[in-house]
Amino acid sequence: MLNFFSKPRIRGGIHAEERKAATATLPIVTHFPLPKKLFIPLQQHVGKPAEPLIRVGDKVLKGQLLAYSQGMISAPVHAPSSGTILDVNDYPAPHPSALPIRTIVLETDGKKQWIQSPTISDPFQLSPEDISLRVGAAGIVGLGGATFPTAVKLNMGRDNHVDTLIINGAECEPYLSCDDRQMQERAAQIIDGVRLMLHSMVTYSAVVAIEDNKPQAFLAMQKAALPYPLISVMQIPTRYPMGWDRQLIGYVTGKEVPIGCRSSEIGVTIHNVSTAYAVHKALRYGQPLVSRVVTVSGGAVARPMNIEVPLGTLISELFAFCDVNPSHVARIVMGGPMMGDSLPHTGLPTVKATSGILALTKAELKNTEEQPCIRCASCVSVCPAGLRPLDMANNIRMNQLDVAVDIGLKDCISCGCCSYICPSNIPLVQYFKYASGEVSARQQAQHKTEQTKKLMDARTARFERIARQQAEEERARLAAKAEREQRQSEQEVTS
């Protein structure tokens, strides 16, 4: 039983300047012109990339399966529009490195013709396992940014007998308002998706948690949930990073997720509001995840808005539609300004993780001139994970990564609170991202070395085994030869 009257302590966090007003009051734009080409990466989720099953020249329909999932932690990819497959090749990824990843290039035909999919009159008549299978087949992943396959979380919720489903409507990143608008405009569909998730997990309690800076979304969701007593809608304080799963679970339920454990192990699981809407469309209409709402905002955007766009749309197409002035753009960010990724150019596609694309001016960027630390401990006070950011950064500077790991590097969520609050403009979160990547690379190199050693040891053992076998065969051959010669000699003497 949840106690909503207690006020759990919120550890760390900041009150960042919101900058949501430019888009939060405008309806979602659904008439985005269909691009002539869509660039659809096969890796848009946590886990193994999807494996293509189409060929160049194939005609496809909207919603048709283009690439199937590999293994349990993976997700399929579907056609965001009808058209013709032009290529399956490497193309720059929407990542700061823009390194190429395998991508399907689809030339659209302008018809947006859906593939015929069987629909179900009442998806609540399906078994919980069948709902998970259909959600997985629809390619739905966490649309809050984590992109973990939703079907896997539903299965884990059922296997771990989760008693509480939390729907994350915090959207605490500055500028972003795509979830806010969906809650205002699509509340009934989101609640339907929540009910289907509950049915899939065999769970009987859901809480929709919305920051109190979104009163219209709160009222809309509260009204939509009113007929369903098992679904409650609550307001939570506006404080970044309130959308972090452990922070949200702690505030809503009073439970703490132990280090190294998943939330489902303590009876709680979290899904995003946009994910719930995608589940509704998949189960009610048989529509896989082929588009999403994206916030396009920032000082260089003349017409900021939330747009529903087909996945694979290039950022340049979004900027052209929103009248972005390229000469005013100082930085392009995918996601929010706190945890989002800076992108090198606009020739990159939108993917399932793209909640926002920001075109920021120089005036919007924080002064990056680093100054010496003044030992104010502000970074310690705002860290939601209870870490000591400055100590970790000092050890990283001295290349003592093992020490940084020992004092909590792996628990850092890269929320950026420490960098935001630092009066000396020390880019703490950049140190942690670099160190995390370096630790991961070292672990991979160590794993590769260990695997190589195992292979070499196995090769040596195999050669030794072959040598022993050959020696034994040679001894047996010589013994047999000696025995034949002995018998022959005895026969000659007898004769």
Cβ neighbour number for residue 201 with a 10 Å cutoff: 27
- For residues 288 and 282, the answer to whether their CB atoms sit within 8 Å is yes
Task: Considering only CA atoms, give the Rg of the chain.
Answer: 28
Nearest to 60 by CA among 95, 109, 100, 6: 109
Phi, psi angle pair for 409, to nearest 5°:
-55, -40
178 is in an annotated binding site: no
172 known member of a binding site: no
- The C-alpha atoms of residue 243 and residue 246 are separated, in whole angstroms, by 9
Residue 157 burial class via C-beta count within 10 angstroms: exposed 0-12, middle 13-18, buried 19 and up? buried
Residue 383 is labelled as binding a ligand: yes
Specify which residues 349 forms β-bridges with: 314
Helix 128-137 vs helix 187-201: crossing angle, to nearest 10 = 120
To the question of whether residue 322 is assigned a binding role by annotation, the answer is no
On whether 379 is known to bind a ligand per the annotation, the reply is yes
Is the preceding peptide bond at 304 cis, omega within 30 degrees of 0? no
Spatial CA neighbour of 108 closest among 59, 163, 169? 59
| Residue closest to 219 by CA, chosen among 184, 177, 260 | 184
What is the Cβ-side half-sphere exposure of residue 109, based on CA atoms within 13 angstroms? 14
What are the structure tokens assigned to 475, written together? Answer: 């001894």
| Token pair of 321 as six digits | 């539609």
> Binding residue per annotation — 415?
yes
Output the known binding site. Answer: 373, 376, 379, 383, 412, 415, 418, 422
Output the known binding site for [4Fe-4S] cluster. Answer: 373, 376, 379, 383, 412, 415, 418, 422
